């Protein structure tokens, strides 16, 4: 199976930058979106042969997630089931016969780390949620997790240790997530690869200079490790300040 995940930074804007062509040429069995920035009814974008599922934020033009799937899932759930977290459209879970598929847009800690305390609560609750799923069947997690885990995962680690996405607290929570039974598929296959990123600031010609961060992931349950056939970051695809990430599993 081929999975693709992409923070589109506004799906309506991305549609004007070639999204449909990218989707149709992807060959994805599941194609996940983060930061759709949409409300219900604002865009009717369906593709033949795919079912689509959406989680919208209460706040207009903010956050939001979506998933296109070739196979209709056994069940669909939105959010974490925790009211404090479930007004921003950040999580969709699809249940299939052999696995759960979770797409997530993790909250950003924001400038000045204004939302870091909330982010810590979110990380704990999200880890508990996917661990609960993992006790039932294997889990595939994808999305913008808003953290560069190690120094190898961003261009300028030394100058970013106090910035959102690379604080010791956020990195430690990501380590805890992996330690709870999950594998970073890109690093599994590419443990020492450098200068491969999934997000670049729109400022300072960052993408042109490849001054980026790897903050978009595919994680899988430990027991799916042997099923990972390919895991790539599709840096040559434009249309957002993020590029898509891809996973192929033998399921």
User: How far apart are the two ends of the chain, measured CA to CA in Å?
Assistant: 7
Closest by CA position to 184, among listed 224, 215, 154, 220:
220
DSSP letter, residue 195: S
CA distance 100 to 82: 19
Structure tokens at 23: 């989707």
Q: What angle do CA 57, 59, 63 make, to 5 degrees?
A: 45
Alpha carbon separation from 38 to 34, 107, 136 (Å, rounded): 11, 17, 32
Catalytic residue among 123, 134, 144, 153: 144
153 part of the active site = no
105 part of the active site = yes
Residues 6+ positions from 32 with CB-CB distance below 8 Å: 3, 4, 5, 6, 65, 66, 67, 68, 92, 103, 142, 143
Catalytic residue among 53, 68, 101, 105: 105
Residues marked as catalytic: 105, 144
């Amino acid at each position: 199976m081929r999975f693709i995940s992409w923070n589109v930074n506004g799906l309506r804007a991305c549609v004007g930058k070639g999204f449909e062509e990218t989707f149709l040429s992807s060959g994805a069995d599941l194609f996940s979106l983060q930061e759709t920035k949409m409300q219900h009814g604002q865009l009717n974008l369906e593709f033949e042969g795919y079912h689509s599922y959406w989680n919208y934020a209460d706040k207009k033009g903010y956050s939001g997630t979506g998933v296109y799937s070739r196979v209709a899932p056994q069940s669909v759930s939105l959010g974490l089931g925790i009211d404090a977290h479930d007004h921003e459209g950040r999580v969709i879970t699809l249940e299939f016969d052999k696995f759960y598929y979770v797409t997530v847009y993790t909250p950003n800690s924001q400038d000045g780390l204004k939302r870091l305390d909330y982010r810590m609560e979110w990380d704990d609750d999200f880890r508990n949620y996917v661990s609960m799923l993992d006790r039932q069947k294997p889990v595939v997690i994808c999305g913008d997790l808003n953290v560069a885990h190690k120094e190898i995962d961003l261009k300028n680690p030394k100058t970013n240790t106090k910035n959102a996405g690379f604080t010791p607290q956020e990195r430690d929570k990501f380590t805890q997530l992996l330690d709870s039974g999950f594998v970073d598929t890109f690093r599994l296959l590419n443990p020492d690869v450098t200068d491969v990123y999934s997000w670049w600031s729109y400022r300072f010609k960052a993408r042109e200079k490849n001054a980026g961060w790897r903050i978009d992931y595919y994680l899988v349950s430990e027991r799916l490790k042997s099923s990972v056939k390919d895991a790539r970051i599709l840096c040559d695809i434009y249309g957002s300040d993020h590029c898509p990430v891809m996973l192929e599993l033998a399921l």
